[in-house]
């Protein structure tokens, strides 16, 4: 069964309302629609988001060129010591929490571009990016995608602040200079895996670790979410829309008000056996930010009291990345 999570069309009135213009009533409506969908589904679709189709097409083109490199070439950009939060991660390496088998995917992480004297760089809390020399356009295009997605993600944090009545800047301040990553994902053709394709899936059931995730259109379907009733539903966003979902860190800092919904990417069925490219942006807090609830809540949520880095390290270990 397919669902279309609510679609919200963003326009200039949203930023006007976020800036304090109470007359921008359409902005207030958008905030309520986005917040209500996140509270119910953990997901919402956004249009009018500003990420151009042409930029996304360019990004997928250079991604395809990059993943077509030899395994030897790609492994030269693996940063195991850094938990693979930058550079390349090979096939079957990452597994969902609680799973024994790796996912049928490989990916490349691009993080925030840091100046040589940035404190998080000097303290090694955030690693340098690793770009493939063999595909020079990769760095140019992916940095542009990163900046566009980072800007949209900060806007959505402002939306959540207004929706939940959190002090303006308290939530977005956690992510200022945050350890956010753009994950460029490649799910190869199923035929290359043999028996593993029968025992593993492209991405096993999981919740995202971070504050929120922005997911532009993938090149193939396969994304599903798990309803509170235990039913798996295909997510079918309109063409050009970006999916927004909330992660475990968001659940922690909102005292459970916004859930991290379980989702997965299933293997293709029938004749649809082609490769799939996807490009989620995971917004993270600063590594040294403490995950404390920003609203009154009697719930105790996993991760509260930990720094974002400590919580991330715990999950990376559970996922087999460190």
Dump the DSSP string for 56-118.
HHHHHHHHHHHHTS-HHHHHTTB-GGGTT-SEEE-TT----TT-SS--S-EEEEEE----TT-
Residue 191 scores a pLDDT above 90: no
With beta carbons less than 8 A apart as the criterion, state whether 303 and 240 touch: no
Residue in 266, 276, 296 with CA at minimum distance from that of residue 186: 276
DSSP H or E stretch at residue 224: strand 223-226
| pTM (two decimals) | 0.96
Q: Residue 285's pLDDT is what?
A: 98
Q: Convert the pLDDT of each residue in 104-154 to its tens digit.
A: 999 999 999 999 999 999 888 899 999 999 999 999 999 999 999 999 999
Q: Which two tokens stand for residue 208?
A: 């995202």
Please tell me the distance from the alpha carbon of residue 115 to that of residue 99, in angstroms, as a whole number. Answer: 38
How many C-beta neighbours within 10 Å does residue 182 have?
25
From the number of C-beta atoms within 10 Å of its C-beta (0-12, 13-18, 19+), residue 161 rates as: buried
Share of the chain above pLDDT 70, in %: 97
pLDDT in tens, 28-43: 999 999 999 999 999 9
Mean pLDDT calculated for residue range 191-219: 89
> What's the rounded mean pLDDT across residues 65-78?
98
Could you tell me the residue ranges of all domains in the chain? 2-268+275-318
pLDDT score at 251: 97
More confident residue, 296 or 245: 245
pLDDT per residue over 291-314, tens digit each?
Answer: 999 998 888 899 999 999 999 999
274/139 Cα distance (integer angstroms): 26
Q: How sure is the predictor about 197, in pLDDT bands with cuts at 50, 70 and 90?
A: low
What is the C-alpha to C-alpha distance for residues 103 and 269, in angstroms, rounded to an integer? 17
- CATH number of the 2-268+275-318 domain: 2.60.120.330
Q: Summarize the confidence of residues 51-65 as an average pLDDT.
A: 97
Q: What is 254-268 written as a DSSP string?
A: TTTSS----EEEPPP
Least confident interval from 2-6, 7-11, 143-147, 220-224: 2-6
Q: Are 191 and 273 in contact (CB under 8 A)?
A: yes
b/e sequence 225-250, b meaning 16+ C-beta within 10 Å: bbeeeeeebebebeebbbbbbbbbbb
- pLDDT tens-digit series, residues 268-278: 876 566 899 99
């Amino acid at each position: 069964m397919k669902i279309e999570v609510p679609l919200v069309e963003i326009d200039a009135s949203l930023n006007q309302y976020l800036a304090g213009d109470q007359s921008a009533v359409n902005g207030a409506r958008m905030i309520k629609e986005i917040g209500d969908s996140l509270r119910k589904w953990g997901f919402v679709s956004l249009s009018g988001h500003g990420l151009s189709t042409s930029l996304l097409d360019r990004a997928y083109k250079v991604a395809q060129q990059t993943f077509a490199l030899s395994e030897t070439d790609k492994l030269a950009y693996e940063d195991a010591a850094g938990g693979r939060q930058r550079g390349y991660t090979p096939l079957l390496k990452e597994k969902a929490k609680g799973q024994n088998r790796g996912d049928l995917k490989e990916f490349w992480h691009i993080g925030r571009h840091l100046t040589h004297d940035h404190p998080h760089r000097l303290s090694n809390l955030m690693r340098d990016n690793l770009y493939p020399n063999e595909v020079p356009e990769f760095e140019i295009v992916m940095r542009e995608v990163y900046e566009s997605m980072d800007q949209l993600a900060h806007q959505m944090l402002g939306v959540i602040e207004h929706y939940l009545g959190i002090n303006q800047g308290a939530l977005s301040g956690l992510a200022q200079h945050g350890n956010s990553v753009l994950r460029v994902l490649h799910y190869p053709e199923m035929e290359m895996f043999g028996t593993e394709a029968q025992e593993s899936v492209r991405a096993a059931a999981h919740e995202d670790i971070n504050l929120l995730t922005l997911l532009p259109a993938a090149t193939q379907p396969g994304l599903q979410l798990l309803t509170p009733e235990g039913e798996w539903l295909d997510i079918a966003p309109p063409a050009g829309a970006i999916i927004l979902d909330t992660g475990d860190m968001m659940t922690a800092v909102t005292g459970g008000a916004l859930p991290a919904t379980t989702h997965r990417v299933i293997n293709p069925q029938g004749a649809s056996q082609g490769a799939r490219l996807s490009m989620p942006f995971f917004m993270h807090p600063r590594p040294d930010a403490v995950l404390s609830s920003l609203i009154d809540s009697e719930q105790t949520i996993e991760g509260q009291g930990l720094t974002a880095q400590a919580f991330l390290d715990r999950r990376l270990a559970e996922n087999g990345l460190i």
